[in-house]
Structure 1
Amino acid sequence: MDEEGFRKYLKRRGKKPEVIDRNVESVKSFTSFLQKERSKELAYTVKEDIDSYVSMIEEKKKSAKGALYTLMNYFRFLEDEVLLAYANALRNARTKKTRRIFPIKEFLKVDQEAVKKLATIGIRNVEQMLEKGKTKKQREELSKQLDITEESILELVKLSDITRLGYVKKKLSRLYYEAGLDSPAKIAVFDPKELHDFFTKFVEESGWAGMVPNPSDLVNNIKNAKKLTKVVEE
Structure 2
Amino acid sequence: MMVLFAHGRKEQAFGFIIAPVLLVAIIGVFTGGFSGVLLAVRLETPGARIATGVIGGLLLAFAVLLVVAFAVQASRPLPVSERAGRTAWVAIEDRLIELWKRPPDEHADPLRAFAELYADPVFINGVATPLTEVVERARALHVAFSDHVFQLLDRVVQSSSGLLAISFRHTARHVGPWRTALGEVPATGRTVTGLGIDILTIVGDRVHKILVVADELQRLVQVAEPSGPLRPLLGGPVR
For the criterion TM > 0.5, the same-fold answer is: no
Task: Bin the TM-score by the shorter chain.
Answer: under 0.3
- Which structure has the higher relative contact order (CA within 8 Å, separation 6+)? 2
TM-score by length of 1: 0.21
| TM-score (normalised: structure 2) | 0.21
The structure richer in helix per residue is: 1
